[in-house]
Amino acid sequence: MANYGMAFDYKLCINCRACEVACKEENGIELGARKHRLWINKENEPTGDFWNLDRTKSRFMQMQCQECEEAPCLKACPNQAIYRDSNGIVRLYNDKCDLSLDCVKACPYDARYVDTRKKITDKCIFCADTRLARGETTTACQITCPAKLRIFGDLDNPNSEISKILKERKYFQLKPEKGTRPKLFYLE
Amino acid sequence: MKVIEVSRRKFLQGSIALSIYASSSLAKLPQITTKTNMQKAKDIPYLCNMCRNKCAGFARVEGESVTKLNPNKYFPKSRNMLCPKGNAGINALYDKDRLKYPLIRIGKRGDGKYRRVTWDEAYEYIKNSLIKILDKQKDNRSTIAYCNGEGFNKDEYIKFFGDKLGSSNFLDEGSICLNTKLGATMLTIGDIGEPDIAGSDFIIISGANRFESLITPDSIDLLQNEQKLIVLDPRCTVTALKADEYIPINVGTDLAFCLAMTYIAIKDELYNKEFVQKYFKDFDKYKEHILKSEYTAQWAESKTHIPAHKIERITKDFFGSKRPLYYLGRRSVWVENDFQFRRAMVLINALAGSINRKGGIIFGQPIKLPQEEVNAPMYANAQARFDLDGIVYGSSKGGSWLNFREKLLTNSSPYPIKTMFIRKHNLMQNMPNITKTKKMLEIMDLVVVIDTLPSDTALMADVILPECTYLEREDMVVSFNRLEPSLAMRNQVIKPLYESRSMQNILKGLGKKLTKPLFEISKKHDEDLQDSIKELGEKKAFTEGGYDLSELYKNDISIRNRQLIEKSFGKEVYKSLKEKGVWYPNMDKYHREIFNNSYEYYPKDKRYYTIKRKFKVNCYLKKLSDNGFDAMPTWREEYNFVVPKDKFRMITGRYISDTQTASTNNIMLRELMQTNHIWINNQIAKRLGIKLGDEVEVSSSIGKVKILAYPTNKIAPSVVWFAHGYGVNSDELTNAFGNGASDNMILEDKFEKIYGCATMHHTDVTIRRI
């Protein structure tokens, strides 16, 4: 029983994408650029001419399911295939998914994709059925990250590293106007 | 599926080629990832071999299969991480294109026609060829050239072909990599040293792309510590993008920047006088030379395109900071002045006192590993190497590839080279001017390739011997690093697949086959051996002379490791290497988690920042002036960056997802970066009518390639760049073949004369939209 979330020290990202490969290898994700549980957004290329580049707005953003407390995908599914597990992670009953794609359309973060092998809509579940299920305490993306910029843990435990860092540092969430209350936090 | 494509907005905003061109080719990729399961699995410590770093990991083995590679938290060098390439190591192991069986050529060289043979047949073929060649060359063992790219087994390989078989012609990657840097450091401060990134508070990096060409622990320490970072580069790399300050610079003019820094430091007396007085040799000469040459900031601006005020400010900040470090880099040699440039950087560090101290170039204290003794025969007729003729210093170990190749092609070697044994070294793609490399291989009577993949070079072989990958073998224990030293061992994760073998087992088999017939040739031609036989009798002359070629590998590597480590360090150390893959003194006590899976390996007061050692900083190298070169870093007018109108200076580098050509066939890494693109300045591209994704033809004096264009403001107007590793010719490499362009098809082959290193950034090219 936990309430898992993840914080990103996002400015440290160098877009190496070790996270993406580790996720695919751990969770057996299909190959193909469109098939992934997490990805890095390259935002705001430098502007200006070469000798006077402005790099200040350039950043690499870690993207994946935002584990919304008010999850639009969960509400949108006509088959009640999406549920929240005991660790607060939004999960899917694979056999109930009929690929109506309502969840894909409902997600403001583009976090879901179609797994063509299993014929389901898939997304990041914090390695819930691989690493966490085996009793490990880290996700594949987190443990491999060269910058160690992903901080994963139990938001309900005040002594967890994620709880501590969220108390210490300022952060923002993605698309707060959507009212989804994500459990992913980007540290300033 | 249409809905998905529209809704996946992230692909529409993606700026680089991958997402734009990926769709058609990705559809062809088979499904190759497997989800890790819930069953009991073994976690076996190993050392990665996807690039030169050798990071440590644990391989998850379910049944007989490797399903996941995880980082190893015990290894100080790699700091509990694996990069994308490290993670994709599984796909190197299970690459369907791997070399699986010994092969003997039945078609023409290069056409890829081979027949599958047994190991014995392959050895037999090699034996019969070698007998003829060596007999004809009267037992001049040096007629056999052998080469090996970087890696743990390089020294073992040298022991076989150099010490045992007796050839002096070994070549490695040093002369197409970083020998100038190693040499410049060695000759200036008497050691190659190690940069202490974590301990520095102010770092200047010239061109080394530490966030896309990862070096552990340097790259990790740059990420995980706070220091002011200034990056000079003619291209805005990710390292430049993430730096505190990015300084665009003209190609090959970093030496001018360094000279101006030196000038300002000396003129304004910013340097560490105490250190200079204590350690410098010939400082007065250097001072006089620098001041007299008037390497002012204004002068450097005209060479580098860096505003003078910036050069002045950076110099003052550098010498004004507590622990400054001018990072020496480690990548290919750029232009003719490379040795002088590397030396100028070392001297700047020394002027700041950043030698043998925290945050500088440290000497440290590596853990000494005992070496096994080799009983090496003395072959009277084996001649000396010739590839360092005309080179001032050069590496007597790995030689000079371009000089070697040139001498063979121009028939100016003192004796013929008729055989090449090539291991883990993709000659056909790794040095400028591929056409010449092909010609060199064509004049051989015997080419043997030992590798894991059917590379372009493998297709030039007469005999191909399949080696297993790094996950299928144990290697000899290696000592790593100086500041936070450790021992690490590559354990065998699974048994070799197919009929592949470890290098030691390959050489053991070859040694057994060759020992007697080659001894017979020595008996025939070698007068010293004849005398020895007269004196000792044949049996004793053979045994005491060390002519048994396979005796190095009498014991399996696991036995050799155990004996070596238990004898010198004890059973507990060996156990640690088997179970954790790593050992260093007081590991149990020192190793502790700091935060979020980041570890401390040595407490700060136990790191070897400063050691007791006598050393000198050599400003003046007389051997250079004796040979007609500058004894001190000096700018020459021919170093000026000038590109003819309508041409571009071609520079090279790589993506984070690639290690030269070795990883281009890796299906997971191809997913990250489908192909290479040529970076061209966006304003120039607009003028030439070149748009993103257009196919362009790039031509130099030696060849032309076709490649897709990536117009960007992140590269200087007169410069183009594309990544090394693509444009593979071997159609046996399904994922790599026909993909992108090879830089070495168009880079002109020139080498500098101090270390005989190929320069990579001197070629001017033209570009035309097709």
- Look at residues B734, B739, B759 and name the one whose alpha carbon lies nearest to residue B749: B759
Per-residue confidence (pLDDT) for residue B32, from 0 to 100: 76
Stretch among A93-97, A181-185, B81-85, B328-332 having the lowest mean pLDDT: B328-332
Whether A51 sits inside 8 A of B26 (CB atoms) is no
Q: Is A50 left (phi over 0), alpha (psi -120 to 50) or beta?
A: alpha
Secondary structure class of A92 (helix, strand, coil) = strand
Provide the Cα torsion B671, B675, B676, B679; round to 10°: -90
**Mean pLDDT of chain B, nearest integer:** 94
For residues B720 and B767, is the Cβ–Cβ distance under 8 A? yes
What is the pLDDT confidence band of residue B406, given thresholds at 50, 70 and 90? very high
Task: Select from B619, B616, B621 the least CA-distant residue to B279.
Answer: B616
First to last CA, chain B: 34
How many whole angstroms from its chain centre is CA B155?
Answer: 15
Alpha-helical regions (H) of B48-118: 84-87, 89-93
Q: Does B190 touch chain A (CB under 8 A)?
A: no
Torsions phi, psi of B95, nearest 5?
Answer: -65, 120
Are the beta carbons of A104 and B656 separated by less than 8 Å? no
Q: How confident is the model at residue B330 (pLDDT cuts 50, 70, 90)?
A: confident
pLDDT of B27: 39
The nearest CA of chain B is from the CA of A69 a distance in Å of 22
| pLDDT higher than threshold 70 for residue B11 | no
Distance CA B190, CA B363 (A): 10
Half-sphere exposure of B708 (CA within 13 A, CB side): 16
Strands across the sheet containing B582-583: B478-480, B486-488, B582-583
Place of tokens 């025969």: B377
Cβ distance of A49 and B683 shorter than 8 Å: yes
State the pLDDT at residue B1. Answer: 22
At residue A122, φ and ψ (nearest 5 deg) are -115, 160
| Nearest CA-CA partner of B396 in B756, B760, B759 | B756
Residue A185 has pLDDT above 60, yes or no: yes
Of A12, A39, A131, which has the smallest distance from its Cβ to B10's Cβ? Answer: A39
Count CA atoms closer than 13 A to B278's CA, side-chain side.
13
CA distance linking residue B640 with residue B718, whole number of Å: 14
What chain B residue is nearest to A15 in terms of C-alpha separation?
B238
Instruction: Give tens-digit pLDDT for B235-275.
Output: 999 999 999 999 999 999 999 999 999 999 999 999 999 99
CB neighbourhood size of B551 (10 A): 16
Looking at the complex, does the CB of residue B558 fall below 8 Å from at least one CB of chain A?
no
Compute how many other C-beta atoms are within 10 angstroms of the C-beta atom of residue B284. Answer: 11
Q: Pairing mode, if any, of strands B592-595 and B361-362?
A: unpaired
Return the percentage of chain B with pLDDT > 90, whole number. Answer: 92
- Which pLDDT band, with edges at 50, 70 and 90, does B29 fall under? very low
Contacts of B219 in chain A (CB under 8 A): 146
Report the pLDDT averaged over residues B442-456.
97
pLDDT of residue B19: 28
Q: Is the pLDDT of residue A7 over 80?
A: yes
Calpha distance B333→B322 (Å, rounded)? 30
pLDDT band at A32 (very low <50, low <70, confident <90, very high): confident
Rounded to whole angstroms, the Cα distance separating B312 from B261 reads 7
- Over the stretch B207-232, which tens digit does the pLDDT of each residue have? 999 999 999 999 999 999 999 999 99
- Percent of chain A with pLDDT strictly greater than 70: 100
Would you tell me the crossing angle of helices B308-320 and B297-304 to the nearest 10 degrees? 120
Residue B493 has pLDDT above 60, yes or no: yes
Q: Which of residues 681 through 720 in chain B touch A, CB cutoff 8 A?
A: 681, 683, 712-717
- The closest CB to that of B3, out of A22, A101, A138, belongs to A101
Which pLDDT belongs to residue B339?
Answer: 97
Q: Is the CB of B443 inside 8 Å of chain A's CB atoms?
A: no
Contacts of A148 (CB under 8 A, 6+ apart): B80, B81, B224, B596, B597, B598
Minimal Cα–Cα distance from A94 to chain B, Å? 16
Pick the residue from chain A with its C-alpha nearest to B27: A32
Token digits of residue A76: 């949108």
> Would you state the torsion angle of the CA atoms of residues B680, B683, B687, B688, taken in this order, to the nearest 10 degrees?
10
* Pair B144, B421: CB distance under 8 Å: yes
**Which residues in chain A are contacts of B714 at CB distance < 8 A?**
45-46, 50, 53
CB contact under 8 A, A30 and B33: yes
Check: CB of residue B205 under 8 Å from CB of residue B327.
Answer: yes
What pLDDT is recorded for position B34? 86
Alpha helices in chain A (DSSP H): 18-27, 72-76, 102-106, 140-144, 161-168
State the pLDDT at residue B624: 98
> Are B671 and A28 inside 8 Å of each other by CB?
no
Give the residue from chain B lying closest to A19, CA to CA.
B84
What is the residue whose two structure tokens read 């607009």? B686
Best B11, B48, B223 member to test A by mutation, with max A CBs in 10 Å, is: B223
DSSP state of B251: T
**Tokens for B477?**
């224990």
Q: Where are the alpha helices (DSSP H) in B352-446?
A: 401-409, 427-430, 434-442
Bridge pairing between strands B280-281 and B617-618: parallel
Cα–Cα distance between B293 and B299 in angstroms, integer?
Answer: 10
Token digits for B453?
């993949």
Q: What local confidence, expressed as pLDDT, does residue A33 receive? A: 73
B210, closest residue in chain A (CA to CA): A14
Q: Which tokens in the block code for residue B229?
A: 């970072």
Alpha-carbon distance B673 to B481, whole Å?
Answer: 31
Average pLDDT over residues B349-373: 97
Measured distance CA(A115)–CA(B365) in Å, rounded: 52
For the segment B616-620, the average pLDDT, to the nearest whole number, is 98
The Cα–Cα gap between B291 and B285 comes to 10
Distance CA A149, CA A169 (A): 14
Q: Once rounded to an integer, what is the mean pLDDT over residues B425-445? A: 97
- DSSP-derived pairing of the beta strands A150-154 and B202-206: unpaired
Question: Are B35 and A34 an interchain contact pair (Cβ–Cβ within 8 Å)?
Answer: no
Three-state SS for B538?
Answer: helix
ipTM of this complex prediction, to 2 decimal places: 0.97
Query: Which pLDDT score is estimated for B14?
Result: 32
The candidate with the shortest Cα–Cα distance to B501, out of B476, B473, B462, B477, is B473
Please tell me the distance in Å from B623's CA to the nearest CA on chain A.
Answer: 40
**pLDDT above 70: percentage of residues in chain B:** 96
**Residues on chain B touching A33 (C-beta within 8 angstroms):** 11, 18-19, 22-23, 26, 671
Residues 6+ apart with CB under 8 A from B101: B116, B117, B466, B498, B499
- Is the CB of B10 less than 8 angstroms away from the CB of A41? yes
Q: Is B709 helix (H, G, I), strand (E, B) or coil?
A: strand
**Which chain B residues contact residue A168 at CB under 8 A?**
none
Query: Mind telling me how many Å the CA of B768 is from chain A's nearest CA?
Result: 22
Note the pLDDT tens digit of each residue in B135-174. Answer: 999 999 999 999 999 999 999 999 999 999 999 999 999 9
Q: How far is A56 from chain B (nearest CA, A)?
A: 9
Match 């640690």 to its residue by tokens.
B576
Characterize the bridge pairing of strands B695-699 and B764-769. antiparallel
Label residue B246 exposed, middle or buried (CB < 10 Å: 0-12, 13-18, 19+).
buried
Q: Which residues of B737-746 are buried (b: 16+ CB within 10 A; e: fewer)?
A: bebbbbbbbb
What are residue B529's DSSP bridge partners?
none
Q: What is the pLDDT of residues B508-549, one digit of tens each?
A: 999 999 999 999 999 999 999 999 999 999 999 999 999 999
Contact B84 A21 (CB under 8 A): yes
Give how far Cα B760 sits from Cα of B401, B532, B552, B644, B724, Å.
13, 49, 38, 18, 11
CB proximity under 8 Å: B 204-223 to A: 211-212, 214, 219-220, 223
Kindly list the residues from chain B whose CB atom is less than 8 angstroms away from the CB atom of residue A161.
Answer: 595-596
**Sign, CA torsion A139/A140/A144/A145:** negative
Please state, in angstroms and rounded to a whole number, the distance separating the CA atoms of residues B346 and B286. 13
Q: Is the peptide bond before B217 cis (omega within 30 degrees of 0)?
A: yes
Q: Does B657 sit within 8 Å of A50, measured CB to CB? A: no
Which among B69, B667, B681 is the nearest to A50, CB-wise?
B681
When pLDDT is averaged across residues B100-109 and rounded to a whole number, the result is 94
CB B171 within 8 A of CB B518: no
Is residue B7 pLDDT above 70, yes or no?
no
Cα torsion B565, B569, B572, B578: sign: negative
Considering CB atoms only, which of A25, A105, A161 is closest to B87? A25
Instruction: Give how far A127 is from chain B: nearest CA, Å.
Output: 10
DSSP E strand stretches across B589-671: 592-595, 598-600, 617-618, 648-653
> B40-80 pLDDT, tens per residue?
899 999 999 999 999 999 999 999 999 999 999 999 999 99
Q: Cβ contact (<8 Å) for B596 and A32? A: no
Whole-Å CA distances, B179 to B157, B215, B433, B657, B756? 20, 17, 20, 24, 9
How confident is the model at residue B594, as a pLDDT? Answer: 96
B28 pLDDT band, cuts 50/70/90, is very low
* Chain B positions in Cβ-Cβ contact with residue A41 (cut-off 8 Å): 10, 13
Decide if B7 and A110 are in contact by the 8 Å CB cutoff.
Answer: yes
